[in-house]
Amino acid sequence: MALVSLTTDFGTVDPFVGIMKAVILGRAPDARLVDVSHEVPFANILAGALVLRHAVPYFPAGSVHLAVVDPGVGGARRPLCVETKSGFLVGPDNGVLSLAANDAGILRIIHLTEERFFLSPASGTFHGRDVFAPVAAALAGGTKTDALGPQVEDMVRLEVPSVVTDGSALRGQVVYVDRFGNLVTNISAPSRVVRVSLGNARIEGLARSYSDAPVGEPVAVVNSWGVIEIAVREGSAQAKLGARVGDPVVIETA
């Protein structure tokens, strides 16, 4: 009984996600479905890749992860399955799979060419339904990846902006803003934090949790993804600090 997770930018207003689930359960009746998010910002491949990277490690081994943030649907980008040490990633070759794939350990990358697994005829506009959902169902049902198409050498790799070490300072940036307005950085928790700076804000040291800060005040924590996050207790750091993805963050460690 495989778990199949779904990560898309389809939203939940239209029936797109329900249709994908119908396709999966029609072909793999015992699959268990888990929504990771369908509100990835439209066409934002980096956000989708980050969401997937941080969700995948909590799923049991052998899970199948559908990720359809696919502005190039119907174009030249290849449909892929990445078999990793912990499960299967299925989606377009535009980078959305690459962060999760790297973390999990890539065993092989398959170009999905075996159309007998697809819905027929496949549309040019909804590969989530016609290509990726039926392939996920096949994997959930035990189909081996080598039946799905030829192995290929590489895939589009997405780069998360890297962190620069500058003396005792770490220079990174905000890479994701969650629905609470928490500002997630690309900086893994260092062993010692003296000060965190973002724009005009200076935060002294790390708190263990949001509740260590006064209500309304910015606080820096190691968040549930294991990286430095700037939050405002019972408020929005995004709103209070006027910050957004790409803004530089500096951590002084001495």
Q: Which positions lie near its own copies, rule CB under 8 A?
A: 1, 3, 5, 7, 10-19, 21-23, 25-26, 29, 32, 34-39, 42-43, 51, 54-55, 58-60, 63, 71-76, 123-126, 129-130, 178-180, 207-212, 221-224, 229, 233-234
- Nearest CA to 140 out of 97, 80, 96, 87 is that of 87
> ∠ CA 116-42-99 to the nearest 5 degrees?
70
- Nearest approach, Cβ of 164 to its own copies (angstroms)? 26
Q: Which is nearer to its own copies, 34 or 250 (CB)?
A: 34
- Nearest approach, Cβ of 63 to its own copies (angstroms)? 8
- Nearest approach, Cβ of 214 to its own copies (angstroms)? 12
User: With the CA atoms of 62, 151, 7 and 52 taken in that order, what torsion angle do they form, in degrees rounded to the nearest 10?
Assistant: 70
Contacts of 193 (CB under 8 A, 6+ apart): 205, 206, 220, 228, 251, 252, 253
- Nearest approach, Cβ of 102 to its own copies (angstroms)? 18
Name residue 169's amino acid: A
- Nearest approach, Cβ of 167 to its own copies (angstroms)? 29
Q: Which residues pair with 8 in a beta bridge?
A: 68
Q: Which is nearer to its own copies, 104 or 221 (CB)?
A: 221
Q: Which is nearer to its own copies, 166 or 234 (CB)?
A: 234
Structure tokens at 66: 């559908």
Q: Which is nearer to its own copies, 114 or 178 (CB)?
A: 178
Q: Which is nearer to its own copies, 115 or 212 (CB)?
A: 212
CA 148 to each of CA 114, 139, 188: distance values in angstroms, whole numbers, following the listed order: 5, 9, 37
